[in-house]
Structure 1
């Protein structure tokens, strides 16, 4: 009997909506970003204006923006019986079958980790919630794929990448060909048909995975970024001999590999893969077309009181802005504009022992989701997931 492939089972309507959403991001990298990449972003005035006083949810926002809490760790999601997971981390949004959207979120809890999904109708009402991955280990960040799946990454020694299905109804699948290391985030490049991967080690590497067949992550080649001229400039790629990494860590298998201090978030748009390194508070840009590396933001170059520290998860908007969440710092999400301005977009007050995780825009770009991983009590069981609505630039 004929058996459909995993890829063929993905709903075609979802693929269509993803292609439309992807087309909307085509303006992300343009002449302004080309100029911005020539120098580190500097503090300036946000296009949204200054932050006001914290609202009833403890979120300080610019004028015209509002927040709501959509989930709390250990509590049933509104309108459902599903208990939201602890330690919410990386996340992404997807168009939902039947209209609306889905927000997925990892759990960085050890041993029981996994990932969950919140499903919204077109009006923003939660219609269902549930698990899309169970009993993995310390799932930190990840990334969406163009075919509508979520790559959930384990941040442990010999960590795995799981491909999960936000719409539900399909079991998650481990993708060992993508390497076994302390994974952080992933970003897909549909032009070159590769997936970029970051590694959260003090001497971690920046990788790309070349699937044998685009859309099928079961096999392929893992490569590591190489450099001979220092932190920026021309770079290359070399194959990782043993992606399983059991006898020798993947980051140590290629002598020419470039090393980065604590790889974190990862975001691709228009030939550029942006990624963050928390150890030195930098946002990097790998230009895939030119095969060169530059620094978008460096806290050490942003004055005596840099607005963005503890750089972590990163996402982008259809208008071309980057949004970087802080792990620590003063618990902000900062915007980095294409003309090189960095400024706070929001701040969560009273969460000093936590970190901001999982920033992601809806397909329409008018709502932003994120979490405070440990809430106000600095406990992994006290995470809070927020939604922000407002006049985002699209």
Structure 2
């Protein structure tokens, strides 16, 4: 590719960026709109309020802002909203369960609530909003507290949220009183049903996101490790699959993905390349009592690593997962500005579906995909987590990028502007509303419009 991202996205409201990445996207699209190859919803319209730019015909409402009082009276809305799920409630209501990626030093932490707090020294956790059919907030409260660096997660087939700690500090480190690095189950409708119980059998590592196979109950997990050796892609075989709320506490087996002959996924740069002999190696010590899992001995055949494993979701009969970027200068085997991988359990096949860059211009939007979800009209919605202006983008079946939203809340200065990343993109159960967070300043939006 000779065109740069600067040429393709010379203006923020550009309709599409047709060669910003390469890949075979047709497998992700099943709707009539996708089959027509529609190129999005048109250019972004500047918001007079300077908050959120959207295409013509779309509207947003602010559901929640960090620092404002929660309706429950438990304290201020915590900061750093990240991964999120929109779960169906009764009478058309929606339960938004929202992560807060707070570290031990965060000022706007999740308030400790009796019966919902794992480690009183930790500042992360989740809040839950109940919305009526008109997206009006009816309640907002703590759903789990005392966890650390809750980044992403994933919904379960039985209507709960699995929140993940992107942290593996042990008790005594940074003032923590308990070990961290776990997955917790959260019931958005009634958080006390699930409490604050770590699902220890699912492993202790720097979790990012999870996706549940609705047929088998197997849970796939990504690890976002910051330094070499980079993270692994896991699957958890539950002892009580698809057993409903609390079933994951019954234990199970944790395995890591091994692609024979491929120690680092960043070395693969050609979309469409597949591997048909994917193996799953038992994790020697899932509790990482002495050694982080990615450093453990998986035998002479080793294990497969990848830098910045982040978003993960289930679609059709496959699980998709994202590598936000890889940098050879940081120890990866190759360079890219984002990959999307597809694993088909029935065939034990792994395929590289999309590659972003590296011949694109990273000073302009579009690199470093993070949270992703399926869009109502077919295709993907991608939260950008890079430098400069921050967008939610849609991806068409023809490999075209189109803008959906731009964060206009400048947290820097007029001379040196800064915009917080988007996170937690998700659609309502009726597919008529897109919910999304802006990480900084912490803001949760509901966006309506002609999605189909």
TM-score, structure 1 length as denominator? 0.82
Alignment of 1:316-327 (within 5 A): 316-327=374-385
- The CA deviation at 1:229 is 4.0
SS at the partner of 2:188?
Answer: coil
Match of 1:314 among 367, 372, 375: 372
Partner of 1:63: 56
Partner of 1:224: 256
- The CA deviation at 1:307 is 4.8
Partner of 2:96: 103
- Identify the structure with the greater strand proportion: 1
- The CA deviation at 1:304 is 4.4
SS at the partner of 1:34?
Answer: helix
- Report the Cα distance in structure 2 between the residues aligned to 1:318 and 1:289, rounded to whole angstroms: 26
Partner of 2:77: 84
Provide closer, same or farther for how the CA distance between residues 70 and 35 of structure 1 changes in structure 2, counting only shifts above 3 A: closer
Match of 1:208 among 229, 235, 243: 235
- The CA deviation at 1:310 is 2.2
**Segments ≥4 residues shifted beyond 6 Å:** none
Partner of 1:250: 293
- Report the Cα distance in structure 2 between the residues aligned to 1:152 and 1:119, rounded to whole angstroms: 18
Alignment of 1:283-322 (within 5 A): 283-300=340-357, 303-304=360-361, 307-322=365-380
- Report the Cα distance in structure 2 between the residues aligned to 1:35 and 1:264, rounded to whole angstroms: 19
- The CA deviation at 1:290 is 2.5
Partner of 2:440: 374
- The CA deviation at 1:273 is 1.4
- The CA deviation at 1:81 is 3.8
- The CA deviation at 1:287 is 2.4
- The CA deviation at 1:45 is 7.4
Alignment length, in residue pairs?
348
Q: Are residue 137 (structure 1) and residue 148 (structure 2) matched?
A: yes
SS at the partner of 1:64?
Answer: coil
Q: What is the CA deviation profile of residues 219-275 of structure 1, one whole-angstrom value per residue up to 9, with x for unaligned ones?
A: 111111111243452322111121101222212332532111111111111122121
Q: What is the CA deviation profile of residues 309-358 of structure 1, one whole-angstrom value per residue up to 9, with x for unaligned ones?
A: 12211111344321111123421111123343222211112442522111
SS at the partner of 1:345?
Answer: strand
Alignment of 1:41-60 (within 5 A): 46-56=39-49, 58-60=51-53
Match of 2:165 among 154, 160, 174: 154
Provide closer, same or farther for how the CA distance between residues 50 and 229 of structure 1 changes in structure 2, counting only shifts above 3 A: farther
Q: Is the 8 A contact 1:307 1:343 kept in 2?
A: no
Q: Are residue 164 (structure 1) and residue 207 (structure 2) matched?
A: no
Backbone CA RMSD of aligned residues: 2.3
- The CA deviation at 1:161 is 0.5
- The CA deviation at 1:213 is 1.0
- Report the Cα distance in structure 2 between the residues aligned to 1:319 and 1:241, rounded to whole angstroms: 43
Q: Is the 8 A contact 1:35 1:339 kept in 2?
A: no
Q: What is the CA deviation profile of residues 119-146 of structure 1, one whole-angstrom value per residue up to 9, with x for unaligned ones?
A: 0112221111111101111111111101
Match of 1:34 among 27, 33, 55: 27
Q: Rg: which structure is higher?
A: 2
Q: Are residue 116 (structure 1) and residue 127 (structure 2) matched?
A: yes
Match of 1:345 among 404, 413, 427: 404
Where structure 2 has 5 or more consecutive residues not aligned to the other structure, the ranges are: 1-23, 30-36, 104-121, 169-179, 266-273, 327-337, 411-417
SS at the partner of 2:257?
Answer: strand
Partner of 2:275: 233
Partner of 1:276: 322
Provide closer, same or farther for how the CA distance between residues 293 and 343 of structure 1 changes in structure 2, counting only shifts above 3 A: farther
Where structure 1 has 5 or more consecutive residues not aligned to the other structure, the ranges are: 1-30, 37-43, 376-382
- Report the Cα distance in structure 1 between the residues aligned to 2:375 and 2:235, rounded to whole angstroms: 23
- The CA deviation at 1:308 is 1.8
